[in-house]
Amino acid sequence: MSADNDTAVYQGVTAPVARAAFRQGRVMPTAGIAPGMTQANMIALPADRAWDFLLYAQRNPKACPVLDVIEAGKTTTPLAAGADISRDLPLYRVWRDGALAEEIADASSLWAQHPDLVTFLIGCSFTFETPLQQAGIEIRHISAGCNVPMYRTNRQCRPAGCLQGEMVVSMRPVAADRVADAVAITARYPAVHGAPVHIGEPAALGIRDLAQPDFGDAVQIKPGEIPVFWACGVTPQAAVMASRLPFAISHAPGHMFITDIADSSFHV
Amino acid sequence: MSADNDTAVYQGVTAPVARAAFRQGRVMPTAGIAPGMTQANMIALPADRAWDFLLYAQRNPKACPVLDVIEAGKTTTPLAAGADISRDLPLYRVWRDGALAEEIADASSLWAQHPDLVTFLIGCSFTFETPLQQAGIEIRHISAGCNVPMYRTNRQCRPAGCLQGEMVVSMRPVAADRVADAVAITARYPAVHGAPVHIGEPAALGIRDLAQPDFGDAVQIKPGEIPVFWACGVTPQAAVMASRLPFAISHAPGHMFITDIADSSFHV
């Protein structure tokens, strides 16, 4: 599924209004929606894999900064009053034996079938897009009304138990004279991926063609701009694939859980 | 046990030399030892409590920032080459049924008796003492050659599974005109407790008498100085007590694990 053409309409709404729209079936990438409110990556795993995942996240904090853990059988979080994690994301991915089985707009029936799911909410780089914009740094995928481009890399994460896999990165083109500002601003948000992991030279990350992202949409890179790469909360999905996990549910890349927590609360 | 009178001799040694001395039986608080190298709090729990603890740490990241998890049966960590976590701390505390049972300088026989221990290394505020000193802010307990004062508070941590308890804080007196600098400097070290949780007004934290710390040593507060409180990695020991855990091993307060990781690597 691609973006709902109502995306522009939803850019000004509050987080609860956006979650209610998603619960009613609206599907759209969430970049630019409910600006100023932190968005989160989501991955839910059976309880017998939860320890391995929490350890994997601890060992790879740049890619997998944990904002909250929802214990087995629960679908609520203190990050968003009244939210139901099984229904309030715009789009879910269902994984079986490490492969993408389907994308669905409501995962509540799967939660009912798997009452032992433990859910992890992981920081998202959308959080620092607001301060980047406030500093006059254009976020190309927001300007273009599309999803952020994401790429699998050749950087292996530190494994934990049954989990291994490569780091996934998001990319934003930044004018060469603003790259240092983008680093300084995002470094102050360590709980939501922090400073870039790589600046320029996509081939050194194992990325062959920026025009063909593994997740999300390609964006234009203008003359004088450098591709800047941040660790991405889709990394757990790469681990689901590489580790051939029997079952998992995640958000669809770019289709995040929108919390009631202000982006600014993650500034250090 | 109190400080070994060799403490001053050891202040200039490297981390591996300090660990070797502790392995040979030297007992001393580690503030000021191997300056510039990160020190860590330690808590080891049976594997069946490990999930609850990792969740407790995730929910209370200011007090319990996890630097590494050593899996069941292992005593090595990538944070310190050649180190053995069961022998290389200067002093251990053994906890039984939530009460302090004994303090010992070598815990390797206990690790042998409990092969399922999972060990957590937690960030320590000693990490940001070097940059505070470099900014000209005196660290009173280092000047005095004693342990940092630590206090139990009336602030409850967010519980997880079998674990609950209050936050423990460390206190450093700071001249009123340098408190803002101390905040700004330590805020840049979120992985090792970060910015203070409380400035002045100890009674509001439930601390009755700064001259009687619950852990460590009292220090002089000079006229014009404000007591500044940081979340402390002794918080897990408070949880062991409050939750009446059957068995645990921890470092003795102020007697930390000294790693090979530079303090500066935690600066964001």
- pLDDT: is A266 or A11 the higher one? A266
User: Would you call A268 and B55 a contact, using CB atoms and an 8 Å cutoff?
Assistant: no
User: Would you call B187 and A268 a contact, using CB atoms and an 8 Å cutoff?
Assistant: yes
Q: Which one of B84-98, B129-143, B254-268 scores highest in mean pLDDT?
A: B84-98
What would the mean pLDDT of A165-189 be, rounded to a whole number? 95
User: Would you call A190 and B66 a contact, using CB atoms and an 8 Å cutoff?
Assistant: no
What digits encode the pLDDT tens for the residues A112-161?
Answer: 999 999 999 999 999 999 899 999 999 999 999 899 999 999 999 999 99
What digits encode the pLDDT tens for the residues B48-80?
Answer: 999 999 999 999 999 999 999 999 989 999 999
Chain B residues whose CB is inside 8 A of the A268 CB are: 187-188, 190, 194-195, 268
What is chain A's mean pLDDT, rounded? 94
User: Would you call B55 and A69 a contact, using CB atoms and an 8 Å cutoff?
Assistant: yes
Using alpha carbons, select from A11, A75, A13 the residue that is nearest to residue A44: A75
Do B147 and B219 contact (CB within 8 A), yes or no? no
Do B63 and B166 contact (CB within 8 A), yes or no? no
Which residue is closest to A65 within chain B, CA to CA? B58
Chain A residues whose CB is inside 8 A of the B66 CB are: 58
Residues of A with CB under 8 A from a CB of B: 50-51, 54-55, 58-59, 66, 68-69, 71, 187-188, 190-191, 194-195, 268
User: Would you call A51 and B55 a contact, using CB atoms and an 8 Å cutoff?
Assistant: no
Sign of CA dihedral A115, A120, A121, A124: negative
Q: Please give the interface size between A and B, counted as residue pairs whose CB atoms are below 8 Å apart.
A: 35
Residue A72 in tokens: 């087995």
Q: Half-sphere exposure of A118 toward its Cβ, with a 13 Å CA cutoff?
A: 15
When scoring B45, B48, B53, B66 by the number of chain A Cβ atoms within 10 A, the one with the most, hence best to mutate, is B66
What digits encode the pLDDT tens for the residues B113-170?
Answer: 999 999 999 999 999 998 999 999 999 999 998 999 999 999 999 999 999 999 999 9
Do B181 and B260 contact (CB within 8 A), yes or no? no
Q: pLDDT grade, residue A5 (50/70/90)?
A: low
- Work out the percent of chain A whose per-residue pLDDT is above 70: 97
Residue A60 in tokens: 């790879």
What is the distance in angstroms between the Cα of A45 and the nearest Cα belonging to chain B? 14
Q: pLDDT grade, residue A4 (50/70/90)?
A: very low
Which residue is closest to A185 within chain B, CA to CA? B268
What pTM was estimated for this model as a whole?
Answer: 0.87
What is the distance in angstroms between the Cα of B152 and the nearest Cα belonging to chain A? 25
User: Would you call A187 and B268 a contact, using CB atoms and an 8 Å cutoff?
Assistant: yes
What digits encode the pLDDT tens for the residues A189-199?
Answer: 998 999 999 99
ipTM here: 0.79
**A139-172 burial: b if 16+ Cβ within 10 Å, else e:** bbbbeebbbbbbbbbebebebbeebebbbbbbbb
What would the mean pLDDT of A164-190 be, rounded to a whole number? 95
Q: pLDDT grade, residue B6 (50/70/90)?
A: low
pLDDT at position B7 is 65
